[in-house]
Amino acid sequence: DSGVTQTPKHLITATGQRVTLRCSPRSGDLSVYWYQQSLDQGLQFLIQYYNGEERAKGNILERFSAQQFPDLHSELNLSSLELGDSALYFCASSAARGGTGANVLTFGAGSRLTVL
Amino acid sequence: AQTVTQSQPEMSVQEAETVTLSCTYDTSENNYYLFWYKQPPSRQMILVIRQEAYKQQNATENRFSVNFQKAAKSFSLKISDSQLGDTAMYFCAFRPNSGGSNYKLTFGKGTLLTVNP
């Protein structure tokens, strides 16, 4: 157990629908990162939050949004789903600024999304 | 922008033997971190080893070691005494040490390693 909790583990939905993926970071970690892993694109960085604020944005579609709440858990919202959104979505967390722990991302087990 | 290249999509090795996975990267940064993550069939991403670019000494973690060649921008992973449990996808990753709180990783496409009995 990495300490990063993601729910749900598996999700099957239809095109056009909306889903929410949830992530609880390791205790004490302030940063949360979302990655998408698909067969053709590999691991793609989506977005990062640090202590509730957006810090970096990657290849995140406009149909996707995320936020980090005061208790530091994060949610990734995917709307108007398309077949191509089927992927494994990872959340990772890292420690507060400074210190060697800040350099390492710890990943959750992922949420597998299947869009039919 | 940084790029990470893993030129070996698949590799195989016999149990107890040694295997080396290759990784090259491109960056204009001088200070950065490099990582190897493994992803076994369970799909969990697990940190294997990391290297700070300002350290000349190659990192070692038990059976795992790296050959870091900063000038060549090369970062290979050597697995000694390979075990069946080492079967996994291995990802090389890069992160610039630009300060602040952004520790976003850029990953390579991965190398699928199969350890045969």
Minimum-distance CB partner of B33 among A43, A58, A103: A103
CB contact (8 A) between residue B100 and residue A97: yes
Q: Where do runs of H (alpha helix) occur along B27-87?
A: none
User: Tokens 């630009």 — which residue?
Assistant: B98
**Confidence (pLDDT) at B104:** 80
Q: Which positions 77-116 of A are in contact with B (Cβ < 8 Å)?
A: 88, 90, 92, 94, 96-97, 102-107, 109-110, 112
% chain B with pLDDT above 90: 78
Arithmetic mean of pLDDT, A87-102: 78
Closest Cα in chain B, distance from residue A74 (Å): 16
Q: Could you write out the DSSP letters of every residue in B20-80? A: EE--EEE-S-SSEEEEEEEE-TT---EEEEEEETT--SPPEETTEEEEEETTTTEEEEEE-
Amino acid A7: pLDDT: 97
Average pLDDT (A46-68) is 93
Where do we find the tokens 């929410």?
A: A20
pLDDT at res. B86: 97
Tokens of B33: 């971190």
Position A98 pLDDT exceeds 80: no
> What's the rounded Cα separation, in Å, for the pair A88 and A71?
25
* β-pairing verdict for B10-14 and A31-38: unpaired
Rounded Cα–Cα distance for residues B52 and B31 (Å):
8
Using CA atoms, how far apart are residues A55 and A93, in angstroms rounded to an integer?
A: 13
Residue numbers of chain B with a pLDDT score lower than 70: 98-103
Q: What is the pLDDT of residue B28?
A: 87
From the CA of A69, how many Å to the nearest CA of chain B?
Answer: 17
Q: Which of B35, B44, B104 sits opposite A48 (nearest CB)?
A: B104
Q: What pLDDT, on the 0 to 100 scale, is given for residue B35?
A: 96
Q: What distance in Å separates the CA atoms of residue A54 and residue A102, rounded to the nearest whole number?
A: 17
Q: What is the pLDDT of residues A9-54, one digit of tens each?
A: 999 999 999 999 999 999 989 999 999 999 877 899 999 999 999 9
pLDDT exceeds 60 at position A72: yes
For chain A, say whether B64 makes contact (Cβ under 8 Å): no
d(CA B14, CA B12): 7
A107, A112, A113, A114: which to substitute to probe chain B, counting the most B Cβ within 10 Å?
A107
> Which of chain A's residues have a Cβ under 8 Å away from the Cβ of B48?
none
Q: List C-alpha distances in Å: B31 to A13, B65, B94.
A: 43, 20, 11
- The pLDDT mean for chain A works out to 92
Q: How far apart are CA B93 and CA A44, in angstroms?
A: 12
Q: How distant is the Cα of A84 from the closest Cα of chain B, in angstroms?
A: 18
With beta carbons less than 8 A apart as the criterion, state whether A21 and A79 touch: no
CB-based contact A63:A75 (threshold 8 Å):
no
- Give the model's pLDDT for residue A52: 93
Phi, psi (degrees; rounded to nearest 5) at A100: -65, -30
